[in-house]
Structure 1
């Protein structure tokens, strides 16, 4: 069974351009949708995403829609919490492919992490 975890030095999920996520209003309340839009910078990236380090500047205090947990999966997306791993893997692949490309180092590192192999690709997990 594959085990999901976030891959460092990626940040694909921090690309918040609303055109890339047309389904936002289907699962976010009006209040959360307004918060989401307030976080989108002119270039489509979250205003708290630190591009040089590819890290979140508010990680400990990030909004619920930026978190991956069984409770968030159920509360925001109406999905079965038992499906978290499969759901997170699918979302990561989708975001990584959209932002960095299906043949990117970020995607390769993600697939390595899923397989349990050590990260030996240049720029690997830190």
Structure 2
């Protein structure tokens, strides 16, 4: 069985361009939406994503909408805890494909890490 996990040196989820996520208002509160938009750099990437290390510079203090937890996904998307694993894998694969491509090193690394 595949098990979701975040992989190092990916950062696909840090590509925050609101044009690619037209439904932000559907799952973020007005306050979260303001914070989200304040985090989007001119290039569409999160201002806290370090492109050199490919890591989040505020990882320990990142907002809840940047965390893959049962509570967060239940609140934002209505995903029950017992469905989080499969939902998170699908979300990551979709985002990695959109940012890097379906045959990218990031996708291969993710699939290997989660057991696909």
TM range (shorter): over 0.9
Instruction: Give the TM-score taking structure 2 as reference length.
Output: 0.97
Q: Distance in 1 between matches of 2:76 and 2:44?
A: 22
1:3 aligns with 2:3: yes
Matching residue of 1:93? 93
Alpha-carbon shift at residue 115 of structure 1 (Å): 1.7
Instruction: Give the TM-score taking structure 1 as reference length.
Output: 0.89
Q: Distance in 2 between matches of 1:76 and 1:111?
A: 25
Q: Which runs of 4+ in 1 moved over 4 A?
A: none
How many residue pairs match? The answer is: 116
Matching residue of 1:119? none
Structure showing greater radius of gyration is 1
Matching residue of 1:111? 111
Structure 2 unmatched runs, 5+: none
Q: Distance in 2 between matches of 1:114 and 1:5?
A: 6
Alpha-carbon shift at residue 20 of structure 1 (Å): 0.8
Structure 1 unmatched runs, 5+: 117-126
Name the stretch that deviates more: 78-87 or 40-49. 78-87
Cα offsets for 1:69-88 (capped at 9, x unmatched):
00111112221111110111
